[in-house]
Structure 1
Amino acid sequence: MNQLLVRVFCVLAIAGSLDLSAQVKMTRQQILFYTADWKGERFPDGRPKIPASVVQRAANVTIEDLWDFLQDRGYRCQFENGWQALHIDRPMTGRALTAQYMPARPDMVAAIKAEGKTEGRTGGNNMWPINELQNEDIYVADGFGKIVEGTLIGSNLGSGIAAHSQVGFVFDAGIRDAAENREIAHLNGFYRGSDPSAWKDMTLTSINAPIRIGRATVLPGDLVVAKQDGIIFVPASLAAAAVASAEFTNLQDAFNFELNSSGTNGAEFEGGWTPAKYSAFAKWIDQHPDKLKMTRQEFDAELAHRSGQSK
């Protein structure tokens, strides 16, 4: 009997230590599991907090250079195109806060509503991710491509996103009130289409879980870089290195373009990167320090790596 009681108490203790109340919003432990490679600062919810300087610098690099960096490291499912946007000509960068939506079914919706009630949440559950947003976040939602009655926000929720994140959203779904949303300060957004219908027959199923956006996999805390030609999602643990690498490539291109225009690049329009050319490139940077967005230390490290001089 004593042994049985001990077992019962152990089971109760283990059950009591688990967070059984939160099913929609991922726990900190779950986010840590999926983002274990990140070694830097985190938000209280566990999401990686990529430095603001990296987020801001990402606006000035190309999708292709980030894509090349990720491809070389085995990340081949991080890009998606075919978007409409509030301001398609404005690059948008930020940290991903993810949400997943699914077609509604009454039993599932009832369970999710009950959880929201115990957590003190109000309104439709398409509002819940907005309340979790932090400055420089991008609300990234898998809405399974639904546009008609798949409009995750109108202008009121759009203003809420702007107030919380000062950046915007990426929806594999639709929006309504597109014209009004375009007038909201500090708001951009990429989406599949606009429609006057209200959202219907769909429900939020997770906040900060891994999600699929088209052919891309997105984790909470990823660096989101959205531009006219598409969106790339960079793992937080690679964000700083990816941006620095892309900046370096951009500098190489600028140097090459100058050589091409002056007729001193010979037939090697795409490079011909010999040790002598790398040396000339370094001297060119010495003469144009204003072109550096990365630190000189980052530049020198990347130069050594690409020229084969790193140890």
Structure 2
Amino acid sequence: MKKSVVACLLAFATSPLFAQIQAPKELIQFYTQEWKGERFPDGRPKVPDEIVKRLANVSIEEAWGIMRGDGYNNQFEGGFQIIHPEKPLVGRVLTAQYMPSRPDMEKPIKEKGKAEGRKGASNSWPIDALQINDVYVADGFGKIVDGTLIGDNLGNSIYAKSKTGVVFDGSVRDLEGLSAIDGFVGFTRGYDPSAIKDMTMTCINCPIRIGRASVLPGDLVLGKPEGVIFIPAHLAEKVVNRAEFIALQDEFGHKMLRENKFTPGEIDMKWSEPIKAAFREHLKTRSGKVYLTAEQIEAFLARE
């Protein structure tokens, strides 16, 4: 198995496709091979829009716990300064990798970008690839001064294309202008009036690191005041469904405790049949949409 993986990576690295600013779709498919569903033309997994929408109601803790149960221990990062923290950030990840610049690396990248028809500075190139519900996620190696990946001009372009926002292990400038973009959500390491300098964008849609989190193109990202969590595409539906069931359980449990119908011990332990029956009745009368089917709910209850 190890030999086949090494051979695959060597094939990519020695092929003409590898000499691209954007990772070839074959490489993206290689890294995201657990995903069996639809993909974008660039190779990224295309998690359904409904799952993306429902993710906004999931808590960071619920998503973290479910993924940790599957061995995904490096998907969360905190410590951000947030633009519009009152709004959750959800979407499909488009990644960009930045590195400290050096002339012998920057020159061929600029030449390759020009040959590919890319316009402007390299920090604008990932923005050109954004689609609706994409989130621009960039590893700017934590640089603040001269590490401003965007200002309000690029911020307006990002929001026009994606209707979401950004996650940067780096900084931004023009905070006042970015804050004026209604709906734009930004997670950054800080703000600085300087312009980007001595940084080179080396790859679009490559695997990247954001703090202690590993990120792949096509992951779903969930950003809330605690921080951001990156959900592998193949786990997205499982995370959303399980989290919604946990939220329904908590809602019901709190209601039963307020009404003194069951004790804390009964609610916190494995549910008895009378509690399950009361839960089913609660679902029939509660306000608000329940996305889970009756069959999915019964499957979850059977495991409780």
State the distance in 1 between where 2:66 and 2:149 align. 33
Letter in 1 for 2:190: G
Match of 2:283 among 269, 276, 285: 285
Aligned to 1:252: 249
Identical aligned residues as a percent: 50
Aligned to 1:46: 43
Shift of 1:183: 1.0
State the distance in 2 between where 1:173 and 1:230 align. 15
Contact 2:252 / 2:279 at 8 angstroms: preserved in 1?
yes
Computing the radius of gyration from Cα coordinates, the structure with the larger value is 1
State the distance in 2 between where 1:205 and 1:287 align. 54
Where 1:42 maps in the other structure, the secondary structure is: coil
Aligned to 2:72: 75
Where 1:263 maps in the other structure, the secondary structure is: coil
Aligned to 2:169: 172
Aligned to 2:20: 23
Contact 2:17 / 2:24 at 8 angstroms: preserved in 1?
no
In the alignment, does 2:54 pair up with 1:57?
Answer: yes
1:166-209 CA distances to partner (integer Å, 9 max, x unpaired)?
11110010000011011123421111101000010111011101
Contact 1:98 / 1:211 at 8 angstroms: preserved in 2?
yes
Shift of 1:114: 0.9
Instruction: Give 5+ residue unaligned stretches, structure 2.
Output: 1-10
State the distance in 2 between where 1:21 and 1:240 align. 32
Task: Give the root-mean-square deviation of aligned CA atoms.
Answer: 1.8
In the alignment, does 2:88 pair up with 1:112?
Answer: no
**TM-score between the two structures when normalised by the length of structure 2:** 0.91
In the alignment, does 2:96 pair up with 1:99?
Answer: yes
State the distance in 2 between where 1:266 and 1:45 align. 53
State the distance in 2 between where 1:22 and 1:283 align. 60
Contact 1:146 / 1:174 at 8 angstroms: preserved in 2?
yes
Contact 2:132 / 2:162 at 8 angstroms: preserved in 1?
yes
Shift of 1:272: 1.8
Where 1:85 maps in the other structure, the secondary structure is: strand
Contact 1:151 / 1:198 at 8 angstroms: preserved in 2?
yes
CA gap of 1:281–1:101, structure 2 versus 1, over 3 A, is same
1:129-156 CA distances to partner (integer Å, 9 max, x unpaired)?
0000010000000001111100000011
Letter in 1 for 2:40: F
Contact 2:98 / 2:141 at 8 angstroms: preserved in 1?
yes
**TM-score between the two structures when normalised by the length of structure 1:** 0.89
In the alignment, does 2:125 pair up with 1:131?
Answer: no
CA gap of 1:185–1:266, structure 2 versus 1, over 3 A, is closer
Q: Number of aligned pairs?
A: 292
